[in-house]
Chains A and B, each alone.
Chain A
Amino acid sequence: MSKIKPSKGAPYARILGVGGYRPTRVVPNEVILEKIDSSDEWIRSRSGIETRHWAGPDETVAAMSIEASGKAIADAGIDASQIGAVVVSTVSHFSQTPAVATEIADKLGTDKAAAFDISAGCAGFGYGLTLAKGMIVEGSAEYVLVIGVERLSDLTDLEDRATAFLFGDGAGAVVVGPSQEPAIGPTVWGSEGDKSETIKQTVPWDRFRIGDLSSLPLDSEGNVKFPAITQEGQAVFRWAVFEMAKVAQQALDAAGISPDDLDVFIPHQANVRIIDSMVKTLKLPEHVMVARDIRTTGNTSAASIPLAMERLLATGEAKSGDTALVIGFGAGLVYAATVVTLP
């Protein structure tokens, strides 16, 4: 039997740099209220959201990703040509083939980096980070770019008072590379497909084939509604707060980190009420800095964790070397939690 030479990877992996891109258009609650019967006070009390960013025509999934990635690569202090793989998590890139990751890898100036998209909803960043860590330790890439990017405004039903205010657009990216010390803990992740109806797209794309249009839902002006993301609010809230707090605790335990050792908590920015209740359920000490980027960013799904991470570091609320618990959870239902050292 011939002997196959194994690949040689780094002992550990770490996040070396982070970057974000927020679209230029800031949308306050007043704009949302033009199409739903609600109030600024109601939106703030149920979600914590005051403003969100919506992408313009030129702020495409690729364009936002390239902006965010450029910052992450500069922050990591490497050259784009050193990147061996580009992993993009998104649910809002409407040209399904080819993967948007290939265009991003090319325009950033990588040297034919492996590039692919993944679909893991709001847990996408954690899924991508876990893949990146594996590639680096296994040796198939020295540096991996992980991008979470969404244009959820394209998948928002502006006439649905339960979700019209919730979603935002943006991109967040990290460069993951080799490390001599452990700097990304074990991932606690999984899926609960029996709850797939809790967060979903209203109508699958293939219903838009000619002949099916008559059965599609219409908006108030009689036009066929574009598919949107819909959710069962109370069920999602219960799962996110109580089940995900257990997952977050498991990630801390797996990394051997006690709440007292923790500096920063960066949960997926789904809803400020979920964040506040998770903090309470996890009994996090006062000194732990909690990301509440959702107030001015909205829920940006896969982009929310790297965007929040970048902002905490930019404002000085968190610093390089801090120990952070990150957890993403969403449509699937899927989840991923781990402890990382901040870049």
Chain B
Amino acid sequence: MAATQEEIVAGLAEIVNEIAGIPVEDVQTDKSFTDDLDVDSLSMVEVVVAAEERFDVKIPDDDVKNLKTVGDATEYILKHQS
């Protein structure tokens, strides 16, 4: 069953917490991965791969650069999850 927006944000928060050590409550839709959450370009790849597995979605490298905020990623997953 497809995940809801709330479930995706919560899932991303857990992933970012595990990869970058950021407290889950700091991971909000308006937060930028790079500027606010200290997720650099390589950690972003790890976040993306973990999100792909968790939400059964494919996020090609070309699309990753457009995912600036947690909200961008949430919207992308909502739209593309199978």
Contact = CB atoms under 8 A, between A and B. Distances in A.
Interface string B46-62: 10110000000000010
A142 B3 CA distance: 61
B49 A273 contact: no
B1 interface: no
B17 to A, nearest CB: 15
Interface stretch (A9-17, A177-185, A231-239, A296-304): A231-239
A241 B45 contact: yes
A238 B40 contact: no
A242 B51 CA distance: 14
Interface residues of B, number: 10
A45 interface: yes
A242 B59 CA distance: 14
A140 interface: no
Band of interface residues on A:
10 to 19
Contacts of A237: 42, 45
Interface in A246-272: 271
B18 to A, nearest CB: 10
B49 A233 contact: no
Given A241-B46, A277-B46, A235 B40 contact: no
Contacts, number: 27
B64 interface: yes
Contacts of B46: 241, 277
Interface residue SS majority, chain A: helix
Contact of B61 (A46, A234, A242, A273): A234
Contacts of B42: 46, 233-234, 237, 271, 273
Interface in B29-82: 40-42, 44-46, 48-49, 61, 64
Contact of B41 (A234, A241, A277): A234
A46 B40 contact: yes
Interface string A99-131: 000000000000000000000000000000000
A233 B41 contact: yes
12 contacts: A46-B40, A46-B41, A233-B42, A234-B42, A234-B61, A235-B61, A238-B45, A238-B48, A238-B61, A241-B46, A241-B49, A273-B42
